A and B are shown apart, each in its own frame.
Chain A
Amino acid sequence: MPWDLKSDRPIYTQLVEQIKLMVFSGTYPPGSKLPSVRDMAQEAAVNPNTMQRALAKLEEDGLIITHRTSGRSITEDASMIELAKTKLAQDQIFEFLEKMRLMGFDQKEILTIITTMAKELK
């Protein structure tokens, strides 16, 4: 997956989001080892200190485990990943609902549109 960094937000928060997506999508499956900070920084073409900061945040969130001697890996705790995934979904939906509200839709209308579209997609 290519790294896509926007210019209006801190780089490290964007790295956090993209690494999370890679975990959810299975690019980095549970328990798998992560490349070194340096390699990851180089791949994303960012400063290693920024990548370090992103990984520290992911560790704080419990998605990444740091081993004293053998680098970092993704947590094996599937519930942890599920939790983070739900949280990300909630964030996205919250943002979406905010936008819809700005357009003047109420909750019922939004749900109707979503249900109709979901049916069409099937």
Chain B
Amino acid sequence: MSTIFECSGLTKKFGSKTALSDVDLKIERGQIVGLLGPNGSGKSTLIKLANELLTPTSGQILIGGKQPGIETKKIVSYLPERTYLNDWMRVQQIIEFFSDFYDNFKPEKAYDMLKRLNISPNDRLKTMSKGTKEKVQLILVMSREAELYFLDEPIGGVDPAARDYILETILSNYNENATVIISSHLISDIEKILDYVIFLNQSKVVLTSTVDDIRDAKGKSVDLLFREVFKC
């Protein structure tokens, strides 16, 4: 297995506030990784740094051996926590937009998933509920044949049935050489599909382990462990 994502001594400060402090991580290809932590622990900051929306204060990130930039964006598919799509656009137009933008975007995959979720390609984003918008965005992100996917809170706003469908979509659309990094608070929903978990707390990595190792060693689910570690 080779490393797809690596950061060393990664630090990000906003003024006097430290969002990430000296983070070292190494993530292999072919895994589904959960990036877990309480609010404000640095999850989104880490993902934004990896997508060059922020630049590190110190330390570095390597994606497939390269620093975040044009080349890494070709192989990284990113679902941000907030939408950046224009809400006057129809789904169909956004799909064309994505096709123009990314070589590895597969429109037929997107249409197929839309159909399964009963979303009409003719609908405009602004007429959709929050959950439906989230589904559309995830479909767009998962329709790219990327090497690394960053999903920032992909299931936050959708109902439990759609949550199952989304997890199934993630499972069936990533290929064996791709890695998916998911940040979420809804641990019990996602832990079955994770290989590996990273716990972040107060800007630091506090635990990295496989899901089954946690269950083996502690006799409890990742969800329960999380509740214990981050007890308020």
Check if B32 is an interface residue, CB within 8 A of chain A.
yes
The contact of B195 among A38, A42, A47, by CB within 8 Å, is A47
Check if A120 is an interface residue, CB within 8 A of chain B.
no
The contact of A11 among B30, B168, B215, by CB within 8 Å, is B215
Across the interface, do A45 and B168 meet the contact criterion of CB distance under 8 Å? yes
Count of A-B contacts with CB under 8 A? 54
Q: Most chain-B CB neighbours within 10 Å: which of A7, A45, A53? A: A7
Across the interface, do A42 and B171 meet the contact criterion of CB distance under 8 Å? yes
Check if A84 is an interface residue, CB within 8 A of chain B.
no
B: contact size bracket:
20 to 34
Measured CB to CB, the nearest residue on chain A to B188 is A7
Q: List 30 A-B contacts (CB under 8 A).
A: A5-B192, A7-B223, A7-B224, A8-B215, A8-B221, A9-B215, A9-B216, A9-B219, A10-B211, A10-B212, A10-B215, A11-B192, A11-B211, A11-B212, A38-B172, A42-B168, A42-B171, A42-B172, A45-B168, A46-B192, A46-B193, A47-B171, A47-B192, A47-B193, A47-B195, A47-B211, A49-B32, A50-B195, A50-B212, A53-B212
Q: Determine the chain A residues whose CB is within 8 A of the CB of B168 once the complex forms.
A: 42, 45
Measured CB to CB, the nearest residue on chain B to A12 is B212
- Shortest C-beta distance, A13 to chain B (Å), equals 8
Report the Cα distance A8→B211, complex, angstroms: 11
9 shortest A-B CB distances, which residue pairs? Answer: A7-B221, A10-B212, A10-B215, A47-B193, A10-B216, A46-B192, A49-B195, A47-B195, A42-B171
Q: Which of A1-41 contact B (CB under 8 A)?
A: 5, 7-12, 38, 41
Report the Cα distance A9→B193, complex, angstroms: 15
Check if B62 is an interface residue, CB within 8 A of chain A.
no
